Amino acid sequence: MPAPWHIYETILRPIYVSLRRLVTDILFEWPMGTQTSREVSLEELGLAAEGREKYRPSGWLNLRRILPIEQVSENDVFIDFGSGKGRVIYQAARYPFKRVIGVELSEELNAIARKNIQGSIDRFCCKNVELITSDVLAYEIPDDITVVYLFNPFTGSIFRTLLEKLIASIERNPRIVRIVYADPVEESVLLAAGARELRRTFGMRPSLELTRRSSTVLYALGPNAGRMHVNFQHDRDAHPSKCSSVY
């Protein structure tokens, strides 16, 4: 008799993934005119390498659940490393960010992202959106970045190199950077570097292991990161948002 996990992986999981994609398309993709759902392996893109992960779209409500719109001001700058087809870039552009940046290794995925973003620019609160095709190892992090998004795009030495670049940027321009990390495989590395967890959300999945892996965590990194919750309240009072709703 097949083990329960084998039954889940071979029969139930494909059904679950297909139904979840269909619901996502009906609720978000079709009304918004985007195409971000299908996962893409790095083998398909000719970019397979150790430490790099396939394209998986974040949930449409991931950013909204972990980072309320009233906690973002027009002085904040957002960047998504491994921005793929642009789903999180679309979400971030509905916030009052000063600038939204996506950095993606694959030009093929970035071309899809540009089409998704260009077709929706009138819906955005932040219209200053930049999509860059670059290896994160070669990319220089702007010194005004204040919010970083990661959906486990890479691990190991690549993750550590990005973190070193981010810390160097903070040293050049002292500030607190909030890091939104979905499926935080390298969480221990981030915490060891001095990041502080602020908030954690969990997705609904058909197993405890998948629910844990679907968690999204908000961290603060930088000087006085331990007081970040105080600054959140100050931002809400001092910088009311011009964007009334993300969706």
Burial class (CB in 10 A: 0-12, 13-18, 19+), 242: exposed
Give residue 29's pLDDT: 80
Say which CATH superfamily domain 42-238 falls into: Vaccinia Virus protein VP39 (3.40.50.150)
Please tell me the distance from the alpha carbon of residue 78 to that of residue 158, in angstroms, as a whole number.
20
Please tell me the distance from the alpha carbon of residue 19 to that of residue 174, in angstroms, as a whole number.
46
Residue type, 189: V
Q: Tell which wins on pLDDT, 101 or 234.
A: 101
pLDDT in tens, 178-207: 999 999 999 999 999 999 999 999 865 545
Give residue 38's pLDDT: 86
Please tell me the distance from the alpha carbon of residue 197 to that of residue 180, in angstroms, as a whole number.
10
The enclosing H or E element of 77 equals strand 77-81
- On the question of pLDDT at 66 being above 90, the answer is yes
pTM equals 0.84
Residue 218 in contact with residue 67, Cβ under 8 Å?
yes
